[in-house]
Amino acid sequence: MFVITGATGQLGSRMVRRLLTRVPADQVVACVRDPERAAGLHAEGVEVRRGDYTDPASLAEAFKGASQVLVVSVNDTGDAAVAQHRAAIDAARAAGAERILYTSHQGAGADSLFAPMPDHAATERYLSTTGAPFTSLRNGFYAGTVPLLLGGALETGELRAPADGPVSWTTHDDLAEAAAVLLTDEGRYEGPTPPLTAARAYDLDDVAGILTRLGGRTVRRVVVEDEEWTAGLVGHGMPAEQADLLLGMFHASRRGEFATTGTTLEDLLGHPATALPAFLEGVVPGSR
């Protein structure tokens, strides 16, 4: 039995859908904090169980009978995030799961300048000490982040953001499909995978060029100072801590932390990964 946590989230929901193309619904368990949000999956024959990383008793019930558990990483950072990941890993082991999968990141590293990356590294270290078979999915940076970085670029013609570096933006759909492949092919990878990324990395200069081609209107890349950018976010209501966390993504990309690309994702998919220009066609009005 396959248990997927976070099964109503952006990645988890796609993983369930992809897995259902490979195994019968009665072999899949959707683990969610709010079962009512997974009513559609239940109607399709998927067993829905409540499971909350902060409630170990719920995880014990949610993971019961699992042969494999896919632990989707949380949106928190710091000790709170690692503690939740460890709770899920411990519960999967206690339930007798034969293998644990974890959604990590291509930039996982203890010295990363982007706060979630040390958390991923700490979780991977913990997994390696359990003695249980595991696969850590070193996912590329989600392409769904790009539209959030555009600001008013499509309206103003200026993509204003701090200095950055190339990022191998990768779609949720491709990563979900790869996860389904790995769930159903137990011998494929043990430990951290190679980076699961699209074939090319793009910086925001590239993104501005893509937007220009797709929209038929020039979009110019404008580099703004870090402090100006975070002050703008805070001025629009974002908490200062969240703004600083996002700035760390730019710092890390400048250092090349997210620039790595590889063929592993395409090898798993059996077809080319979605390139950023194709993904952005769904974002730019009139590009299709």
User: In the predicted model, is pLDDT for residue 272 greater than 60?
Assistant: yes
Long-range Cβ pairs for the range 77-81 (8 Å, 24+): 77/115, 77/116, 77/119, 77/245, 78/115, 78/119, 81/116, 81/119
Least confident stretch, 18-22, 147-151, 175-179: 147-151
Phi and psi based region of residue 256 (left: phi greater than 0; alpha: psi -120 to 50; beta: remaining)? left
Task: Please answer whether residues 28 and 46 qualify as being in contact, where contact means their C-beta atoms are separated by less than 8 angstroms.
Answer: yes
CB neighbours of 267 closer than 8 A, spacing ≥ 6? none
Cβ distance 51 to 37 under 8 Å?
Answer: no
- Asked whether the predicted pLDDT for residue 137 surpasses 80, the reply is yes
> 207: phi > 0 → left, psi -120 to 50 → alpha, else beta; which?
alpha
What mean pLDDT is predicted for residues 72-91? 96
Query: What percent of the chain is modeled with pLDDT above 90?
Result: 94
124 neighbors 110 (Cβ within 8 angstroms): no
In the predicted structure, residue 283 carries a pLDDT above the cut 90: no
pLDDT at 4 over 70: yes
Average pLDDT, the chain: 95
The Cα–Cα gap between 211 and 201 comes to: 16
Please compute the mean of the pLDDT values over residues 23-50 and round it to a whole number.
95
Q: Which residues make beta-bridge pairs with 31?
A: 5, 49
CB 79 within 8 A of CB 170: no
Q: Are 201 and 146 in contact (CB under 8 A)?
A: no
How far out from the chain centre does Cα 21 lie?
A: 21
Tokens 């950072």 belong to residue: 77
Q: Can you read off the two tokens belonging to residue 281?
A: 């066609």
Does position 117 have pLDDT exceeding 70, yes or no? yes
Helix (H, G, I), strand (E, B) or coil at 76: coil
Strands in the chain per DSSP E: 2-5, 28-32, 47-50, 68-71, 99-105, 134-139, 158-161, 191-192, 220-223
| pLDDT at site 114 | 97
Both ends of the chain: CA-CA distance in Å?
41
User: Which residues are within 8 A (CB) of 75 and not within 5 positions of it... i.e. 6 or more apart?
Assistant: none
Report how far residue 141's alpha carbon sits from residue 265's, in angstroms, rounded to the nearest whole number: 13
151: pLDDT confidence band, cut at 50, 70 and 90? Answer: confident
Q: What is the CA radius of gyration of the chain?
A: 19
d(CA 186, CA 272): 23
pTM over 0.85: yes
Instruction: Categorize the per-residue pLDDT at 284 as very low, low, confident or very high, splitting at 50, 70 and 90.
Output: confident
pLDDT category, 282, cuts 50, 70, 90? confident
- What number is the average pLDDT over the span 28-41? 94
- At 288, is the pLDDT very low, low, confident or very high (cuts 50, 70, 90)? low
| Domains of the chain listed by start with CATH number | 2-139+171-192 (3.40.50.720)
At 188 the pLDDT is 84
